[in-house]
Chains A and B, each alone.
Chain A
Amino acid sequence: MTAAALRWAKALPLSARIGLSLVIFWLIVALVGPMLAPYPVGAFVAPDVFDGMSAQHWLGSDYLGRDVLSRLLSGARYTMGLAAAAALLASATGTALALTAAVGGAKVDEPLSRFMDTLISIPSKILSLVLVAAFGSSLPLLLLIAAVTYVPGNYRIARALAVNLAQMDYVQVARARGEGRLHLALREILPNMIHPLLADFGLRFVFIVLLLSGLSFLGLGVQPPDADLGSLVRENISGLGEGALAILMPALAIATLTVGVNLLIDGLKGKRP
């Protein structure tokens, strides 16, 4: 199992291997990070604000004198967890609906597609602002917002793929064999759209990280004293002028995470699992 995984990783192009190591790094951070954190997340432990690196505080301190490393380690979990869950939810829903539309014929396809077009026309940031204002910010709500925002985009791409694949001769042969719609969708069509969908999943994941970071930056995301990577950038914005580590580090974390996912997904394209 591990040997096979290693061989698989070795066959990837260099860029994908870089991406893979970044993603694995952040996954580990998200899983075990809070346990490694040297200080409690909300504790004021440093003598000074916006400190540089030191033996006690490896990544310095933030605008209130909290330990940046500890906050980063716990913030990564929020961002990774939320974004992965939301991207998975969005992709699964979008793809399931797209397959339904592709095998269901015009009667299913038309209303579904027009409904998705309507959803696309609502600006996602405004929608999230309204929802957060109405219901208050909570993790389930953030998850739902991110998922709903990205379902239509995934649906569009998945439907375009599925409708084309549904015209392929092998699907026609399966239809003429008398196969049911479920078999057509899951066994004949879905396996052939996995690769573009994986690429799309990577993009969605990155967009959701950015959307959540954006919401947090506006103060609508994860609420203090907890913080995801976006809120870390936001709360330390006053340190930008002096180049404080407290703002550079979370920004760097967002960048490496999104770039890593993109590199990995790009490298996967065209390779059969």
Chain B
Amino acid sequence: MTAHVEVSGLRVTARNATGETFPIVSDIDFALKRGEVLALIGESGSGKTTIALTLLGHARPGATISGGSIRVGESQILSLNARELAELRGNRIAYIAQSAASAFNPSRTIMDQVIEPALIHNLMPRAQAEKKAVELFRALALPFPDMIGSRYPHQLSGGQLQRLMAAMALVTDPELVILDEPTTALDVTTQIEVLRAFKAVVLERGATAIYVSHDLAVVAQMADQIVVLNQGRIREKGSADQILHRPADDYTKTLMAAARPAIRPTPKQADIPAAPLLEIRGLTAGYGRIGKDGRPRIPVLRDIDLKIERGATLGVIGESGSGKSTMARVIAGLLPPAQGEVLLNGEPLPPGLKGRSRDQFRRIQLVFQNADTALNPAHTVEQILSRPLAFYHGLKGNAARLRVLELLDLIRLPASVIDRRCGGLSGGQKQRINLARALAADPELILCDEVTSALDTVVGAAILDLMAELRKELGVAYMFISHDISTVRAICDDILVLYSGNMVEMGGREGFRDAPFHPYTDLLIGSVPEMRAGWLEESGAVRSLPLIGAPAEDVELCRFLPRCAARIDGVCNVLAPPRHALAKGNSILCHHGEESLTKVQGVAA
């Protein structure tokens, strides 16, 4: 059987500011048979999206396809004219983009948009297209397949929209589907559902697909073949099994290593003073007016109690909207809490920014996720780093410059970046500067809000190594906020799991190795893809949730109730859950006891 899609000698070039042309990707060859899924793997800037777009005969503005050939079925893509390409796109070749939320038109219904490709290409009458769309909705396990078409995009979740994008792509029965990082922007628990739906439809329809991703574990679930890209060239290609288990290329091995975070050992503490570095007692925070019961109108965090010892690392994990970032904002003083108090070295901190002393400010430093927005684009690296030096330590002139150079050395950046603005630095370099600015204050606690989420795995792993080293050298404590439980388990001493603003589980990292867990922790851990084919199937089909009666009103019920696989009718929907300790030391907020949780989770774990 000959290949269905064949790419050979593909080369895409772009022109830089001085007018020189340089290649973005070159010498790309691969082929795939009908019904196969090929994955393009690489870090950002490796050219994976560029290659995916050339299959549609498209190059982004500024870039040109300057050589090679692409054959899809009978068509030579690169020799088609604009009209023939338009005939092809969205019809025989479909594209699914990363961010479904911005790919849908907010002013039109889902159905209109999903069947649009079929109508534009005059493939079938409207009624038939709608019928087909509903079939696809059902196949993609969307809720209310008959009704969902009449909704508008803002009424649906990110995971649902991503699946609807797939429906839109598949409605024309394309010969080739291109999926460009379709699950990257989703929470792990949503990602697993979307992956499962994608895999089901791809298998069922025998679609030929190209899957672009940076995440090897995700690709392991979908791909038959894997192409590893680095800086616009193919480093290695082969069957999924071979790449995942017997990688030949060094770069592939680096990628594999970075995807499995190494466990960083806890440095030994010499003497622990009486008061913990940071303590939070009975904290409730949120937005809007504070009501009579002392709770804000939109509570984001409820009843948080935690301690961070000097030089320790606390991991805070949860999905988007769980209140993790709000916690950092409250501690930093950017959002005064509604109830409860924050103690630093045993002394209560003023709730807001007002009233905090400069020394209190110095002890707590904040590092944001996105270094692009966390560093002032108008300032040079020196200005950024010397401000905290002047502000907290009164360092000026030569002394400040020397200290800046020291800091740059500490974060392993060359001294030559000192006069540059951040726009010209890479993502990893910016994140290092971001970290260095916090270090310039000589803090005791650094609040790290998703510091590695926006980075490539390899770069992110380097940042984590750096943080672990700094901790050993400087004895600084971290609060490490993340949505990625494997990273948190690798670097943190203690872990706090947040769900919808509640602490559902808290304990040492050893306690997060084996069951029993809180049911939400269990779901989180079970949703992290493992780097082997077949994991998706083994991790169980969509769990059927136990039926329960209507939840009682006026009770602080468990927030996880609607999604919990271990909920008990007559208990969970009637009574507020108690906080109690498990034998291994973790405290959980759940009605279940040790034995019943082990019984449910023991099998899976």
Closest B-chain residue to A167, C-beta based?
Answer: B373
A192 touches B368 (CB 8 A): no
Binding site of A, secondary structure by majority: helix, strand, loop or mixed? Answer: helix
Report if A179 contacts B (CB, 8 A). Answer: yes
Stretch of B237-245, B273-281, B353-361, B566-574 at the chain-chain interface: B353-361
Report if A170 contacts B (CB, 8 A). Answer: yes
Contacts of B379 in A (CB 8 A): 191
The complex places the Cα of A170 from the Cα of B375 at a distance, in Å, of 5
The complex places the Cα of A176 from the Cα of B366 at a distance, in Å, of 7
Tell which of B332, B373, B377 touches A176, judged by Cβ atoms closer than 8 Å.
Answer: B332
Report if A242 contacts B (CB, 8 A). Answer: no
Closest A-chain residue to B369, C-beta based?
Answer: A169
B361 touches A178 (CB 8 A): yes
Tell which of A172, A178, A187, A188 touches B358, judged by Cβ atoms closer than 8 Å.
Answer: A178
Interface 1/0 per residue, B415-433 and A, CB below 8 Å: 0000001000000000000
A176 touches B376 (CB 8 A): no
A175 touches B374 (CB 8 A): no
A177 touches B441 (CB 8 A): yes
Contacts of A170 in B (CB 8 A): 373-376
Contacts of A169 in B (CB 8 A): 368, 370, 373-374
The complex places the Cα of A194 from the Cα of B365 at a distance, in Å, of 29
A192 touches B373 (CB 8 A): no
The complex places the Cα of A176 from the Cα of B377 at a distance, in Å, of 18
Interface 1/0 per residue, B388-402 and A, CB below 8 Å: 100100000000000
Closest B-chain residue to A194, C-beta based?
Answer: B378
A177-B388, A177-B441, A179-B391 known; A192 vs B377 contact (CB < 8 Å): yes
Contacts of B334 in A (CB 8 A): 172, 175-176
Report if A168 contacts B (CB, 8 A). Answer: yes
Contacts of B333 in A (CB 8 A): 176
Closest A-chain residue to B449, C-beta based?
Answer: A169
Interface 1/0 per residue, A181-200 and B, CB below 8 Å: 00000011001101000000
A–B complex contacts, Cβ < 8 Å, 28 sampled: A168-B373, A169-B373, A170-B373, A170-B375, A172-B334, A172-B366, A172-B368, A173-B366, A173-B368, A173-B437, A175-B353, A176-B333, A176-B334, A176-B353, A176-B361, A176-B365, A176-B366, A177-B361, A177-B387, A177-B391, A177-B441, A178-B353, A178-B361, A178-B362, A179-B391, A187-B387, A191-B378, A191-B379
The complex places the Cα of A166 from the Cα of B368 at a distance, in Å, of 15
The complex places the Cα of A191 from the Cα of B375 at a distance, in Å, of 13
Interface 1/0 per residue, B462-483 and A, CB below 8 Å: 0000000000000000000000
Interface residues on chain A, number (Cβ under 8 Å)? 16
The complex places the Cα of A192 from the Cα of B374 at a distance, in Å, of 13
Contacts of B377 in A (CB 8 A): 192
A173 touches B374 (CB 8 A): yes
The complex places the Cα of A191 from the Cα of B370 at a distance, in Å, of 20
Closest B-chain residue to A179, C-beta based?
Answer: B391
Closest B-chain residue to A188, C-beta based?
Answer: B376
Closest A-chain residue to B366, C-beta based?
Answer: A176
Contacts of A168 in B (CB 8 A): 373
The complex places the Cα of A168 from the Cα of B370 at a distance, in Å, of 10
Contacts of A194 in B (CB 8 A): 378
The complex places the Cα of A170 from the Cα of B369 at a distance, in Å, of 11
Contacts of A187 in B (CB 8 A): 387
A192 touches B378 (CB 8 A): yes
Contacts of B370 in A (CB 8 A): 169
State the Cβ distance, B584 to closest chain A Cβ, in Å.
36
Closest A-chain residue to B332, C-beta based?
Answer: A176
State the Cβ distance, A176 to closest chain B Cβ, in Å.
4
Closest B-chain residue to A178, C-beta based?
Answer: B361
Contacts of A172 in B (CB 8 A): 334, 366, 368
Interface 1/0 per residue, B341-373 and A, CB below 8 Å: 000000000000100101001101110101001
Contacts of B374 in A (CB 8 A): 169-170, 173
The complex places the Cα of A169 from the Cα of B366 at a distance, in Å, of 10
The complex places the Cα of A272 from the Cα of B377 at a distance, in Å, of 11
Q: Other CB < 8 Å A-B pairs besides A170-B376, A172-B334, 11 of them?
A: A169-B374, A170-B374, A173-B366, A173-B368, A173-B437, A176-B332, A176-B361, A176-B364, A178-B358, A191-B376, A192-B376
The complex places the Cα of A87 from the Cα of B266 at a distance, in Å, of 62
The complex places the Cα of A170 from the Cα of B366 at a distance, in Å, of 10
Contacts of B332 in A (CB 8 A): 176
State the Cβ distance, A162 to closest chain B Cβ, in Å.
14
State the Cβ distance, B21 to closest chain A Cβ, in Å.
22
Contacts of B378 in A (CB 8 A): 191-192, 194
Contacts of B387 in A (CB 8 A): 177, 187
The complex places the Cα of A106 from the Cα of B203 at a distance, in Å, of 56
Across the A-B interface, the 5 shortest Cβ-Cβ residue pairs: A191-B378, A178-B361, A169-B374, A176-B332, A169-B368
The complex places the Cα of A272 from the Cα of B420 at a distance, in Å, of 13
The complex places the Cα of A170 from the Cα of B437 at a distance, in Å, of 11
Contacts of B437 in A (CB 8 A): 173
Contacts of A175 in B (CB 8 A): 334, 353
Contacts of B376 in A (CB 8 A): 170, 188, 191-192
